[in-house]
Structure 1
Amino acid sequence: MAKYEASAEELKAQAREAADEVGKQARRVADEAQHAAESLREKGAEFAESARKHSHEYAERARDEARRIYREGERYAADLADHADDYYVEVSRAVRRHPARALGIAAGVGFLLGLIIARR
């Protein structure tokens, strides 16, 4: 059996070929990684822009809704104030018509409140 003995030059040439192949593969992988990173960066920028746009839309909707609720609250407060004025006028008339009855009712309510507060 004859042994195949490669010369040093042949081994060097094979090593260079292997190194060149590994280098080509490494460059290809690096290029693919760089392309993937650029693609991810673009997608990230698109996502950030979309999020910024939608956040402004949602913020504007929230402001509009807050204004609507505030106006509705003001309307309810005005209605309540009107009702309170009506009841005040009604009670004032009743007290003027029947002062003794009003005084008796006020004394009774005061007495009951005094009992409730004293029990605590």
Structure 2
Amino acid sequence: MPNHDTTNDLKAEARRAAEDVGREARRAADDAADAAENAKNRSAELLGSAFEKGAEFVDAARKRGAEYYEGARGKGSEYAEHARDEARRIYREGERRAGDVAGYAEDYYDDVSAMVRRNPGQALGIAVGVGFLLGLIVSRR
């Protein structure tokens, strides 16, 4: 029969080994739980950081967009004012030239009137000739 002391020693040693394995397993489980908690906390921190960065990016984009809008609006107003000034200048120039043309027309009218008074027959002949030519042109159409 086997030795009773040796069996008890083996049982005790197996019990101690099992207890050591149990302690190590609990310690490993605790370490794993701590690691999981740390990972969870770190993930939450990273997610919060990502949200903050995203909010900062959106805010910066909004500010830059507002700056571009104001710049474009200012340029648009500047160009519109420049266009209005140029339109006024062209209008004034047109009025001046229209006045010049009206003055030339009055001068020519006076010259033609004086010529017709001096040479009524010649003026009548020219008028008949011009009328005849215009009649030919109009009738061909």
Residue matched to 1:47 = 68
Give me the whole-angstrom Cα distance separating, in 2, the residues matched to 1:89 and 1:12: 113
- Structure 2's unaligned 5+ residue stretches are 1-23
Are 1:26 and 2:47 counterparts? yes
Deviating more after overlay: 76-85 vs 33-42? 33-42
Residue matched to 1:100 = 121
> Larger relative CO (CA 8 A, sep 6+): 1 or 2?
1
Larger radius of gyration: 2
Q: Please, what TM-score do these two structures have when normalized by structure 2?
A: 0.75
Deviating more after overlay: 81-90 vs 18-27? 18-27
Give me the whole-angstrom Cα distance separating, in 2, the residues matched to 1:93 and 1:32: 90
Q: Please, what TM-score do these two structures have when normalized by structure 1?
A: 0.87
> How many aligned residue pairs are there?
116
Deviation at 1:14, TM superposition (A): 3.0
Over the aligned positions, Cα root-mean-square deviation in angstroms equals 1.7
Instruction: Report % sequence identity.
Output: 49
Residue matched to 2:98 = 77
Deviation at 1:75, TM superposition (A): 0.3
Give me the whole-angstrom Cα distance separating, in 2, the residues matched to 1:49 and 1:113: 62
Give me the whole-angstrom Cα distance separating, in 2, the residues matched to 1:42 and 1:111: 76
- Structure 1's unaligned 5+ residue stretches are none
Residue matched to 2:110 = 89
